[in-house]
Amino acid sequence: MAVEFPAAYWKDYELLDSGNGEKLERFGKYVLRRPEPKALWTPSLPDAEWKRLSHVTFRPGAGFGKAGKEDSGTWEKSKRMDDQWGIAYNGEPDPETHAASDLHIGLRLGLTSFKHVGVFPEQAPNWEFIYRETSRLARIHKANGLPAPKVLNLFAYTGAASLAAKCAGADVTHLDSVRQVVTWARENMERSGLDGIRWVVEDALKFARREAKRGNRYDGIILDPPAYGHGPDGEKWKLDELLFGLLQNVASILSERDAFMVLNLYSNGYSAALGETVVREAFKGNFREMTSGELAFNDSFGKILPLSIYVRLKR
């Protein structure tokens, strides 16, 4: 199993320290202090230094730890800062030619009531994979006189993965059940100097089932499902109960060849081995390559903080 980290040259994000169930992070020019259940150790810096460095601290609310409200709370500012600000991500240079990447993402960040700020920075290795695979497919399609590869991003949040696929030349469909989040993703597209993404506000499982019935196919599918959630019409999502069925539908709408899928899971208790098994069974072995692992950060003191697991599949 691999453990992947965002590239050290990414200057707009840094995990400064972690421990005691918290993490101290720099997003651009601001330092945030947030809960992190996986940080089981003692911080390297004293609490006084955490207080000195941080611009804002997230305080869990009454719903914290409850399904569907596990990240709720409020932000307390200790220094002057904007409620919204921006960061950028520029892709890794080509490892062989060292040529600059065309992956350029602009992201608007903001303080939300669920401890999130609009980006999950540990996802950068997934963005790189999506960009590389989509670029490869775009070259194949162009050489064969085919339209641009179609990429579907389910549970797409504020759209960094959608933007990675778009930068590589894909025809992108971005789906999330929350309209405000889709609007946020559109802002990020404009910040990135891109256009032409298809926006869908819908329940992911409903959409996948309908696409299967219509016989629609995608050359890339990205999934980052939460443990719990609700669709725009009140549909209930529970990862443990619905993930396998969703993956079966995804298997039926992913192109039979020259295609990829990325699954990311944050749910505690899920392992890369479990992720591989559920994907393998849903796809019934109909793929040519599968890899899995963890996405993690090294904080400034070398402590490794794992945050999610991924499964990547190629046909």
pTM, entire model: 0.94
For residue 105, the one-letter residue type is I
Boundaries of domain holding 104:
2-314
Write the burial class of residue 38 (CB in 10 Å: 0-12 exposed, 13-18 middle, 19+ buried): middle
Q: Contact at 8 Å (CB) between 294 and 272?
A: yes
Residue/partner pairs of 300-305 with CB below 8 Å, 24 or more apart: 300/14, 300/15, 300/16, 300/17, 300/44, 301/17, 301/44, 303/18, 303/19, 303/41, 303/44, 304/3, 305/15, 305/18, 305/23, 305/36, 305/38, 305/39
Beta pairing partners, 74: 59
CATH of the domain at 260: 3.40.50.150
Better-scored residue on pLDDT, 223 or 231 = 223
Closest residue by Cα to residue 148 from 134, 164, 160: 134
Q: Is 101 helix (H, G, I), strand (E, B) or coil?
A: coil
Q: Express each pLDDT in 81-112 by its tens digit.
A: 999 999 999 998 877 777 889 999 999 999 99
pLDDT band at residue 135 under the 50/70/90 scheme: very high
pLDDT band at residue 227 under the 50/70/90 scheme: confident
Q: Report the chain's mean pLDDT, rounded to a whole number.
A: 93
Q: Which residues contact 62 (CB under 8 A, 6 or more apart)?
A: 72
Mean pLDDT across the stretch 129-139?
A: 97
Position 162 scores a pLDDT of: 98
Q: Express each pLDDT in 138-164 by its tens digit.
A: 999 999 999 999 999 999 999 999 999
User: How far apart, in whole angstroms, are the C-alpha atoms of residue 187 and residue 183?
Assistant: 6
Could you give the number of structural domains in the chain?
A: 1
pLDDT band at residue 31 under the 50/70/90 scheme: very high
State phi, psi for 151 to the nearest 5 degrees: -120, 130
Mean pLDDT across the stretch 40-67?
A: 87
**pLDDT at 65 > cutoff 90:** no
Q: Express each pLDDT in 255-267 by its tens digit.
A: 999 999 999 999 7
The percentage of the chain sitting over the pLDDT mark of 70, rounded to a whole number, equals: 97
**pLDDT at 196 > cutoff 80:** yes
**pLDDT at 66 > cutoff 60:** no
